[in-house]
Structure 1
Amino acid sequence: MRYDIKPRYYDPVKEEIEQRTSRIKRELAEQGILNSENEDSLENFSSGIRGSFSQYRGIKPREASVFSSTAIIRTLLFLGMILMAFGYIYIGPDIFTYLLYLGLLVAGVYFFFRLKNRSKDE
């Protein structure tokens, strides 16, 4: 014969919650607010919290910039690292100098057009 013990767990928080809900149900039943029909509906009651935060109008809309997406930036960084690795294998340490100049050129063009668009707005 096997020895099978079924442990009993004591959760004081759960017991306190059960006592409070039973006390509140008793008080509501005494006041006539709660009857057997309402008791079932209270157990199935859920707060309307799901979706409440998404309806808040104070959230700022996302920027339409291509570079605001972290996925694009992560992809560009990954491609840059791959380019550096293959460039180092095929060209040697000079690839870092070439990529530095290329990066400065791209950054210069980006900031030029960014400042050009700002001057049009003002």
Structure 2
Amino acid sequence: MKFPSFIKTSKYSRFHFEPRYYDPIKEEIQGKLKAARERQNQKDSGEDPTFYQSSISAAFRKRERKSSQTSVLQLGIAVGLFALLLGWWFLGNDVFYIFLLLSPLYFYFRLRKRNAPRD
């Protein structure tokens, strides 16, 4: 038996998800066929042929970073945590206070380098 109430509760709702199948080989073949058709149409019309890659994997390859900036950052974080652990092991809780005193210096120099005028 339900009593009248001023509070509205949400009704039961179902989650419906239809998975899509992705075949990278088929995608690549379709991209190559499309590019070949475009080149053929451009040759027939006398335009300058250009090639555009339309596959998803090619688009991601273009956007990859060429530098190892992230791996250096991850290495720095790992070394910092390891140093913090060793310091805590040998010096106790005083290491955390030292860390709290030195961290503003790090952020100061980092922000100063970022805000420095460029030539």
Bin of the TM-score, shorter chain as denominator length: 0.3 to 0.5
Q: Scaled by the length of structure 1, what TM-score is found?
A: 0.42
Structure whose alpha-carbon radius of gyration is higher: 1
Structure with the bigger RCO (C-alpha within 8 Å, sep 6+) is: 2
Q: Scaled by the length of structure 2, what TM-score is found?
A: 0.43
